[in-house]
Amino acid sequence: MELYYFPVSPFSQKVQLALELKGYEYEKKSVFPFSPEERSAYREVYPLGKIPLLKDGEKLIPEASIIVEYLDNLGQGVQLIPADPEEAREVRLKDRLVDSYLSANAISMFFQFMKPESERDAALLDKCRHEIISTYKMVELTLRGKDEASLYYHGNRISMADLSLLPALRICYSIIPFDMHPVICEYYEKHAQMPEFKSMGAAADEVMEMFKAALKR
């Protein structure tokens, strides 16, 4: 398997976590989206140019959540989407909400903050803040009442919902801290100790400064 990814992206990190937790061997192919050469070369592989992308033999599997489902269906390692249809629906819903209201908004805000203040879209920033803060409240309510052993975003074991939430919280915290939500803090402190997650965070930090420099050109 080959994974085309960008280390800073929470969507890429979702797939990396799935691959690592399931114990798959794969080749990492980092794509730097602000390098015209890398972007052009990558479009030869996947014309839409979006990352992450998993290449398994001749198969191209795009979109982070679809990749996780694909890996789950291969049957190796921990199951990340429950077999029960109703439980699976809940996990997919939580995954979708995190992607839409935490990860996507944090990325939008990041790009806005890289612009001069006079060029920022104030209405967009307000919308993103509102949706992130509202989603924090929803996540806090979902986690409230769980003990340490069952402190997962859905049910009492890790699922695709956690693989979305952990990277999303990491990028969101740098923009809108969630310190006012004690259960989210407890959840993050617990799962951020996963070796796979810590390794990805270190890699993302190394790339971030180069990413910021490229955006300012």
Q: What is the pTM of this model?
A: 0.92
DSSP, res 101? I
Predicted local confidence at residue 201, as pLDDT: 76
d(CA 25, CA 121): 42
Task: Please tell me the predicted confidence (pLDDT) of residue 210.
Answer: 59
Query: Which position has the token pair 């069952």?
Result: 150
Residue showing tokens 């982070």: 64
- Cβ atoms within 10 Å of 105's Cβ, excluding its own: 25
Distance CA 39, CA 16 (A): 20
Residue 165 · residue 132 · CB < 8 Å: no
- So what's the pLDDT on residue 211? 58
Nearest to 24, CA basis, from 64, 78, 69, 63: 78
Tens of pLDDT, residue by residue, the chain (217 residues)? 999 999 889 999 999 999 999 999 999 999 987 788 988 999 999 999 999 999 999 999 999 999 999 999 998 999 999 999 999 999 999 999 999 999 999 999 988 888 888 999 999 999 999 999 999 999 999 999 999 999 999 999 999 999 999 999 999 998 999 999 999 999 999 999 988 888 887 777 766 665 555 555 5
pLDDT at 174: 87
Distance CA 11, CA 22 (A): 17
Q: How far apart are CA 55 and CA 215, in angstroms?
A: 28
